[in-house]
Structures are given as C-alpha cells and as structure tokens.
Structure 1
Amino acid sequence: MNKEKKYLIQTWGCQMNEHDSEKIEGILNSLEYIEASNKEEADLIIYNTCLVRENAELKVYGNLGELKRLKRENPNLIIAVCGCMMQKEEVRDVIKKKYSHVDIIFGTHNIHKLPQLILDHDQKTNMLIDVWEDSKEIIEDLPTKRKYDFKAFINIMYGCNNFCTYCIVPYTRGREKSREAKDILEEAIKLSKEGYKEITLLGQNVNSYGKNLEDKTTFPELLYMLNDVEGLERIRFMTSHPKDLSNELISAMKDCDKVCNHLHLPFQSGSNRILKKMNRKYNKEQYLNLVEKVRTEIPDIALTTDIIVGFPGETEADFQETIDVVKKSKFDSAFTFLYSIREGTPAAKDEEQVPDDVKHKRFDKLLDTLKPISLERNTSLIGKKVKVLVEDISKNDSSKLSGRTDTSKLIHFKGDGSLIGKIVDVCVIDAKTWTLEGELVE
C-alpha cells in the first residue's frame, strides 16, 4: 500500500496570492495529496511568494535556508517556490546560486501546470524552472480548496496596466486580463449553492474590469448581475483605483443590497507632486472630491485606504499634504507602508531616497493622526445593532467569537461556535482603535 503523500503550503502577500494557494491546494488534493501538519512530515513544501515588500522577500530567503536541513534528512522531499518573486530573473538566479536544494520554480501564470511539473521532477534530478513572462489565456475550472466554507475569493481579473512607479505587480502579474462575466457568474452561483454567504471579488484594479472583453461588461454591471444571485448575502471587492472610480460604480454600490458598505480606495500620497512621480493619474483634489461624493451617496460607508510614507523626493510639505487628506477623509482604517525600494521599478532608480530615520518619524506621525480618527469612527457605533458574519473563535479569547460587520470591522462577542459561518445581529458595546466589542442579540 502506497504511503499518502503530504503537502505544506506557506503563503506571503495579498488576497490574490491567498487565492492562488487555494488553487494549488485544490490541484494537490486532486493528485491525492493530503495536508501535512508540519514541515517535518511533508513530502512536498511549496512557498507562494510576494515581491511587493522587501520584508516578505527576506522571509522567503530565510525560510528557504531553514529547509536545507530537512532536505538533507529527507532527500525525497520536494521543495517548490512559486508566486511573484519567481517572475523576476534576478530572484531566480539567487535561488539557483544559493538555494540549490529547491526542486521546482514556477510563476504566477502557470499554476495549472503543477501536476506536470511534479511528474517531470520525478524523472529528473536537477532544478526544474518553468516561468512564463505573461499569458493571454485565463485557465478556468481549476480545482480549488477554499479556506472557509462560508466565504470565498473570486478572481475577476488578473494583472495590471497602471505601472505605478513604486510597484512591481505589472512586471510579475502581467497586463490586465478580465475573466468573462458568465464564468464569474457561474462560479458565484456554484458557491451560493454550496452554502457560501460572502464573496470577495479580486483584481489589482477592479474598476477597470471588462476593458479587454469583447462584450465590454463593466464592473458596475457585473455587480448588478452578482447581486441577483440567490443565496449570496454579501459581495465585497478590492482593490479600487481612484482614477477609474465612476459614478456608475457608486450608484451600483448604493443600489445593490448585497454589496457591502465598505470601499477600499488607496490614495498613497496627498502631494500632487508625489502623486505625479508615482504615476497615479489623479490629484489630491480629485481624490477628496471622490471621498465627498461617496460619503454623500452612501453616508454609512466605511472608507479604508493605502498610504506610502517616504516615497523618493517626499518633503515635509509633501507629507503634510498626506496628513491633510487623512484628516479630511476620516478613514475608518488604513494600510500604512514605509516606502521600500523594489528593484526593477522606476522609483528604485530615483536618487532622492528619503533617509530611514525621516521615514520612521513621519510614519509615527501618520499613525498618531490615523488612530484617533479610527477610534472616533468606531465609537460612533456604540449602541448600534450590526450584522456580523461569524468567522472564527477569537484568537485572544477562546470564550468569544470573531466576525466582520458589513463595513468590514472586526468585532468580538461571546457566543457558541455553532454560529461560525452564520450572519447574526450583534449590538456594539465598546470600541477600540481597530476593533469592536459586542453582545449577541438573541
């Protein structure tokens, strides 16, 4: 009797990477692999990598180094590395030179080839590298092992055409390609029939969905279609680019009762000079007008954003423009980043790099501005009843459950584990900067 083969996948990066790992798991399950509980018992270890931040890249190298011992102890162990890092030739060269114990390297465009790569590796002893620079084809119907059985990611498009000067994504994920609306709709209907209550639509810039399709279905039109799917209760999406946020999309968010009252709208910098250097294609005034328009049309919306501190050439005056946008927009929360050089991007060559100590001081000031606003937004919910999709047992208190409101706020409350996967009413009784506390409404 053959021993069951076991796999372990470690994922760094965005929701797109998380969903790619779900597909990899689905493929491995179809090959009759089962999930390992630790590295020591795995027959196949896959690292799905991210290149957006330097920290994630360094973690991958550190983890690969630790696998040398395992490979010595178990020569039959297969080590594979995939994801955005592998799209860069320089990274592949580093792995070939320093991490020769890696067996398989594949990229973001050919996940579907994994069964063949494992088979080919069994017939060879040297490192197998299969990376495509880009692919015009979208592979449908890949088996997928979802992390949850009540909420799911759905890719609606791949790649990016924006070429922000700090971002490596267009070079690792390729040009924009939208999935056919009928394929997205079919996936959503299938998920609803399986009992899924929430879907999150993924794309580097969902607002430009459909531009390469023959029928030119727009993103707002797609939302209206998905809103009619019986059984689905929530629709989320990310990420939105301000330059493509249309009045039609705002109307669709307002009209579609299943679309959550949450908009993630990265602004990155409040300085028009820096925005131009970033190639963001909007200015501070346009961004603030969008915020005002969205809040006027959907008053109870939660607005979140991305902000980069210390982009090359950023002066104190530029940074104060960013603070001004934060104060005027009153974000519910924000993903904040210290600018880090990504080789291969135009900004990496900029000679006006901001010193690290200046970056850190500005970063602290930014957090000092954001935190009271987030707390104020959360405090305004005390005493209100909110609908919560219960996701898990609280990580910090096993007597409590954790879930997300319609506005994507994390809330903790006492309740029975049988509620996981259900949408329940919770009354907000306390607010912290980033989370809420509540009581289940019986």
Structure 2
Amino acid sequence: MVDRIQSIRGMHDILPEAGAAWSWLETTIRRVVEGYGYQQIRLPIVEKTELFARSIGEVTDIVEKEMYTFGDRNGDSLTLRPEGTAGCVRSGIEHGFLHNQMVRLWYTGPMFRHERPQKGRYRQFHQMGAEAFGMEGPDVDAELILMTSRLWRVLGLQGVRLELNSLGSAEARAAYRDELQDFLRSRRDELDEDSRRRLESNPLRVLDSKDPGTREVLREAPQLLEALDDASREHFEGLCELLSSAGIEYVINPRLVRGLDYYSRTVFEWVTDELGAQGTVCAGGRYDALVSQLGGRETPACGFAMGIERLLTLLEAQSLLPTLAGPRVYVLSQGAAARREALHIAEAVREARPELGVQVHCGEGGLKAQMKRADRSGAEVALILGEQEVAEGMVTVRALRGEAQQTMVAQTALLAELLRHCPIDQEGH
C-alpha cells in the first residue's frame, strides 16, 4: 500500500466549506480599504534573503529563527516572505513610484514563518496589509487606524481594543536602549532565559516578554515615552488628539514595541481577549527610515497588517460568519434530450442572472436520487426536465425550502418564476 502524503505541519488546506467565509471577508476588506483610496499591489512570495535581514533586523526572532530560507541554482539566498512591508518598499524603490509621491497601497496573500504551530499561529498564514508613503504628519497614522476601526464595525466585531505607543526617533530610541539595557543588566537574574538572550542583542524586545517574572521586573523599568524627542512627542500627541476627536477609544501601552526593527514613532495594535495567547488581530505603525535603509530616498511611511486566520477565528467565536454559499437553483433532468436541454436552460439563467448561481446535476441517477442531491446542495429551487417538459417547451419548478410548491411554467416565463422564489436585493444577493 502506497503511503499517503500529508500537508506540511503548520500549513493547512482551506477546504470548500470554509471558502465562503474567506471570500466574504476578503471582499469586505477590499471594499473598506479601496473606499479610502488604497490601490492593490501584488508582490512575489519569494524575495532575496537580504531584503528581510536589512529591513526586519538581523537580531530579530523572525530573521534568526523563523524564516524559510534556501539557496537556488544560481547560488542566491532566497526566502519565503515572512511579512509584506519589505517587499512593498522594495517594489516602490525598484519601480520608482515612491519618491515625492503620496502613495496608498494594499495587498493580501500568504506569509511564512517557521514557528511552533498553535491556535492562531501557523507556518503558512495569510495577511492583509496597507501601506501609505510620502505623508509625515499624524493624520495618515489616524487614517489607517480609522480604516481598521471601520472594518471592525462593518464586520460587526466586538471587544477589539486599540493600544498605542511611540518609539520616537532613532536617536532617542538608541539613548533609551542604553538606559534600558543598564536597568535590565542590574536585574538579569530575575529575567527569563529568552529575555536574557535578548538583553544584549535587542533589549527593546524584552519589553514584549510574556513571562510573568520578567513583566514584574519591567514595572520598574524606565519608560520609552519619557525619553521621546520633542518632534516625536508632538507627533504622538497629534495622533492622540485626532483619534479622540474621531471618537476612537485607545489605551497607551508604554511596553508596546512590535517585533520588527524598522518601526519608528507610532506603533499600534488591535487586541482581543477571545483568542488566548494570540490576541493581536491587527498591528502596525510608522517606518520612516525603511525606504532609505533599503536604498531609496528618505520617504515617510506608515502601515499595518492583519491576520486573516485570526480574524476568521474571532468572527466565528462571535457567530458573525456567513453561512456556506451555494447555488440557489439546481437543475435535474431525465433522459438524453432533457439532459441537453438542462445545460441550455442553466446557461440562459446564468446569462440573465449570474448572481443566482445554478448547478446542473451531472451523471446518472433517477429523479429521486437527484432530488436528494438538490436538497443537500442548499438550493432554494429545483428545475425539473423530463420528456414531457422538453416536448412542450416547459419546465417544472419545485420550491425546496419552506412549504413545498411545484408548478410547470413555459421556458419563456422561467426567469420571472425563479425571481419569485429567489428574490435578489439591490446589492445582487
């Protein structure tokens, strides 16, 4: 017996029964972000490894431990993208559409990190991201946060809260890094093993520790907000004022640092308590130095990314997912002539009303067996064609939901009869 090949650990199939929810969420996201003037960009899944080492940071967990990196036949080191911002910036520099421009972009697709799989964290996962270039004021930071807030309202999500912080300028952050490092060294024995490792290489990441003992030590640590330069403080206060005036509630979290080295000034997260340890639904901030860091001219930038799987899990927990989409009309036939006619009628209905969705029974089977399949399909109406219907140019229409009704109508009157059983609203549903 031949061994079966299974999917790679942490990389899951999205089965048909989940497809309706994915399509609905992706369509909803597209409508919201494009309503703010953001244009879609499609980026390669594979990039040069150097792109992520230079942008994310060589001493981050992602670059050190989590990237899928391999050599190709030309001897180049390539990596499956672990996030989307770096590729977006690389594209902008390569094609010259960032300098002295105000550009708003969005993208979606799979990302890859070799993490320990658990609920809400996978090795292949999907993100939607939005990036805004060429705007240095806090208004675009606010716009991105307002966009995500609107998405939560459109989806009907509850219990998602906004946390904010500012990382300040590179100079202020470097001075704070030294101060924090001195403090942590004085309490080194009280830190968890991972934090002790980060203490020397990337001490700001210790602020993000989930270890209870380390978090207790951090209560007494110096705060980055107190070390901000004047320009960063003014920017952050401006953002807070814009959010307050827009009615957006937020909490300032001085320990919020994010896991990517390219962030500066604003950082934010939308978090929930309903997903356990993986409670971050959406996160982002400013990365004003990244374009020049990757070889372009200095360009202010801000963006965010959200996890599609986590959003779907949260929507499911709040009973907000749509039911499985399927055909509204199912066509049955008996006999060779009726089978040919069934295909013609189905095509005519699809041409006139493509939003209805029409499925034709294919293969053998008596009418009783076909009716069972029609009922299981979730369709609202069955169209039945036999020798009599074909000879007389008629179709038998049978309602499958509610009180069973059956009538025979002329093919020329079929569409009106279908719309009586399957009304379509103004949005085409």
The answer to whether TM tops 0.5 is no
TM-score for both structures, normalised by structure 2: 0.23
Q: Which has the higher contact order (CA 8 A, sep 6+)?
A: 2
Larger CA Rg, structure 1 vs 2: 2
TM-score for both structures, normalised by structure 1: 0.23
